[in-house]
Structure formats: C-alpha cells, structure tokens
C-alpha cells in the first residue's frame, strides 16, 4: 500500500493489509484536519517504510501530549510513530490504493461538531458542483 501527502513530497509504503479504520470526531482531530472527523488506522512499525520527504515533516505537540505531524510544504497530516507502542498512526486520506476494509468505529461522537450529520441525510453528488452558484442552490 502506497500513500502520499497533498504535494507528494512525503511518501510512504505499508507492507501489511490495512484494517480497523476509525474516525475520531474529537475537537483536536477536527482542528488538525479541518474536517468533521479524522479517519485513520494503525499499522505495525515493522511494516511501515518512509519512501521520501521524512526530513520535511514538522511536528506539533500540545502540552497534553496530543501530537500532529504534517508536511511542511502542503500541510497534510502525515503518519507518526506512537512512542513505545511499535505502531505507526496512518491518516487514511493519504492512502492511494483501494483499501479492503472500511471504517468500523467512530470515536468521540459526543464531541462531534453540531453541523455534522450522517452523509445519508445529505445531498450526494458523484462529482463536484457545476459552479459555486449551483452549490449554493443545494445548500
């Protein structure tokens, strides 16, 4: 499994099947991603390999220990090693190949943004809107 950040500077490979994807809806994950929830998984450190861009990774840490590693060029969240666990945290959005499993757990749903709702209750388009105007008509 290959993955890379938005600009492609940070690339990595995983030599094991991706499973146990989760989405975290906590306020920290929301800030770190700008999205409703942070979709991620964990893999064994022995199955993870940086391909490029490791030197361009910056790390931000809260006093509480919450850590966000990101590409210094494009700002994408990137994998980070979880100290002492032997595991590597992987932001699912960076994966570039089809993943056999799906998100199976949602965490911190009590902290979910008030504007979040199940995607089945929203208008769903196969692609982007034809224009900003047509998007506004759907909202």
Give me the residues that bind Zn ion (CB under 5 A), please.
Answer: 5, 7, 9, 24, 26, 29, 71, 73-74
Provide the minimum distance between the beta carbon of 29 and Zn ion in the complex, in angstroms, as a whole number: 3
Q: Is 123 helix (H, G, I), strand (E, B) or coil?
A: coil
Q: Could you tell me where the beta strands, DSSP code E, fall in 48-113? A: 48-52, 57-61, 67-71, 80-82, 87-91, 103-107
Provide the minimum distance between the beta carbon of 1 and Zn ion in the complex, in angstroms, as a whole number: 18
Please state, in angstroms and rounded to a whole number, the distance separating the CA atoms of residues 101 and 18: 7
Nearer of residues 67 and 129 to Zn ion, judged by Cβ: 67
Beta carbons within 10 angstroms of residue 126's beta carbon: 4
Nearer of residues 46 and 60 to Zn ion, judged by Cβ: 60
Nearer of residues 14 and 71 to Zn ion, judged by Cβ: 71
Nearer of residues 7 and 36 to Zn ion, judged by Cβ: 7
Provide the minimum distance between the beta carbon of 38 and Zn ion in the complex, in angstroms, as a whole number: 6
Provide the minimum distance between the beta carbon of 72 and Zn ion in the complex, in angstroms, as a whole number: 8
59: Cβ–Cβ under 8 A, 6 or more apart, which residues? 67, 68, 69, 70, 80
């Amino acid at each position: 499994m290959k993955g890379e950040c938005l600009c492609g500077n940070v690339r990595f490979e995983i030599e094991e099947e991706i499973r146990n994807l989760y989405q975290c809806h906590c306020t920290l994950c929301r800030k770190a991603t700008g999205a409703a929830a942070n979709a991620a998984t964990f893999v064994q450190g022995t199955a993870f390999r940086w391909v490029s861009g490791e030197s361009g990774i910056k790390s931000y840490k809260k006093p509480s220990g919450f850590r966000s590693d990101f590409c210094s060029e494009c700002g994408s969240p990137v994998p980070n090693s979880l100290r002492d666990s032997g595991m590597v945290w992987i932001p699912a959005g960076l994966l570039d190949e089809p993943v056999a499993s799906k998100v199976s757990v949602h965490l911190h749903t009590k902290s979910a943004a008030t504007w979040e709702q199940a995607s089945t209750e929203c208008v769903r388009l196969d692609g982007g809107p034809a224009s900003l105007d047509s998007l506004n008509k759907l909202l």
